[in-house]
Amino acid sequence: MNTAQLLLGVVFSSIGLGYFMYGKKQKVTMPLVCGLVLMIFPYFVENTVMLSLVGITLSLTPYFIRL
């Protein structure tokens, strides 16, 4: 694990925590699920490019898909 992966993991986990808290408080499914996935997936992805692409995709998903 290098510094970039660690920093990206912290950034995406923080965004995920925000989405999770919002989804739980507002009882909205999409931000809740995306928040959980954003908090968990950095532990399993070792490639920095893949970490960035998946993190950005999951961060933007609740904005475009509202359930």
> pTM, whole model, 2 decimals?
0.90
- Six-digit token string for 35: 């928040």
pLDDT at 67 exceeding the cut of 80: no
Three-state secondary structure readout of 29-62: HHHHHHHHHHHHHHHCCCCHHHHHHHHHHHHHHH
Type of residue found at 5: Q
Q: If you compute the radius of gyration of the chain from its CA atoms, what whole number of angstroms results?
A: 12
In which residue are the tokens 């510094």 written? 3
pLDDT by residue (tens digit) across 17-63? 999 999 999 999 999 999 999 999 999 999 999 999 999 999 999 99
